[in-house]
Copies of this chain bind each other. A is one copy, B any other.
Amino acid sequence: MRLSRDVAVIGAGMTRFHHRIHADKTGRELFVEAALEAKESVDNGIDLGDVGALYLGNFSSDAFEGQAHSAALLADWLGLTPKPATRIEDACASSGVAVNIGVMAIASGAYDVVMVGGVEKMRGLSTGGVTDTLAMAADALYEVGAGFTFPGLYAALATAHFAEFGSNWEQLAAITIKNHRNGALNPKAHFQAEIMETAKRLGERNNMTFDDEMDFLRSSLNTVVAYPLRLFDCCPISDGSAVVLLAAGEVARKYTDTPIYIRGMGQASDTMALHDRKELTTLRATKLAASQAYKMAGVNPGDIGVADVHDCFTIAEVFATEDLGFFPKGEGGKAAAEGRTALDGDVAINPDGGLKAKGHPVGATGAAMTYEVFKQMRGEAGGRQVADIRYGLVHNVGASGATVSIQVYGR
């Protein structure tokens, strides 16, 4: 894939991902909060009138808020009207795909600047209601009808991976600990050091070491959700929004001296139902989308210094780091347990805490990943800053891998 024009990120904003603090807000309010922060983040200023179009990732405001047609509505609330506003829905990859659509819209010549956002206001429903709603992203007839929801689907993937490669739950727990530690450094994260906080509330000691945390995660307090996945293997249900501003290469420097370019991108699909796949220990769509993105960017996995990958469940981070080529197949869990994915590891995976600790308002996740990689590559990530990044990567997965979008970012 070769695009007709270069495209760069020139600004990014996001709400905190959380539940309680957003309890009284609607999706439209969350989006406006993130969009205004994105606007303010543009170094040399930007007028909303410069924005040619809005591409909005949203999974199901229909089911969560009784509100469809959300792109036009949110454009209206932000003051973008009468600019074109388009909603993209590809399950949990909605705003990752929206970034690709935004890039193509600019590359086509149609616009010089576009806004790409994502939003999900999920907590109006009960946990069970959210779980059922999210299950609509799987095959409603053949998977959900048979009793599957997403914890079960990812538990099946984990079981297959454990069986084929001898990977194990302790490796997943190491990912939990890493991502919660990273989240503790991220003021936008849903959970900020919540393992320790939870443990403290439950009467455990302060100042837990890695071994203490592992002991806590092994305890019955960390209840099994879908074997082998326990509560702390699952991302929380969060509300939130994230927004990025994209500009054509030739105008980007008008807005900022440090644009971050989309050097490569990819997207692929896979069978919706797990039972139709030839193998259960890899997400083929990740491999294909990554291959497109690496080729377009002219880079190898080893060139990536920071990656936000889709860890809706801890096992998904194992799949991602293997399928993206950071580690050999079967060794992603081991690499995480050895600290090779920490902020100072071979490749920093999910420095923002990942979906696990940062939260996962599903439609907002791809845009929030882009926010993080943008901040990291500009050296603006504060206490969680990763050193010496040449390239960054965003990996956003829809459902159990039927959609994957990837971007490779460079300077």
Contact = CB atoms under 8 A, between A and B. Distances in A.
A307 to B, nearest CB: 20
Interface in A70-95: 71-73, 75-76, 80-91
A72 B3 contact: no
Interface in A235-272: 267-272
Given A62-B62, A140-B66, A269 B72 contact: yes
Contact of A90 (B1, B66, B71, B103): B71
Contact of A53 (B267, B270, B399): B267
Interface stretch (A107-115, A164-172, A223-231): A107-115
Q: How many copies altogether?
A: 2
Given A62-B63, A269-B76, A90 B109 contact: no
A37 interface: no
Nearest to A403: B72
**Sorted from nearest, which 9 A-B pairs have the closest CB atoms?**
A107-B108, A84-B267, A72-B402, A104-B108, A69-B91, A68-B136, A4-B4, A67-B140, A69-B137
Given A60-B68, A62-B62, 6 more contacts: A5-B108, A67-B140, A68-B89, A69-B89, A76-B276, A85-B269
Interface of A: 1-5, 26, 53, 59-60, 62-63, 65-69, 71-73, 75-76, 80-91, 97, 100-101, 103-110, 136-141, 144, 267-272, 276, 284-285, 288, 398-399, 402-403
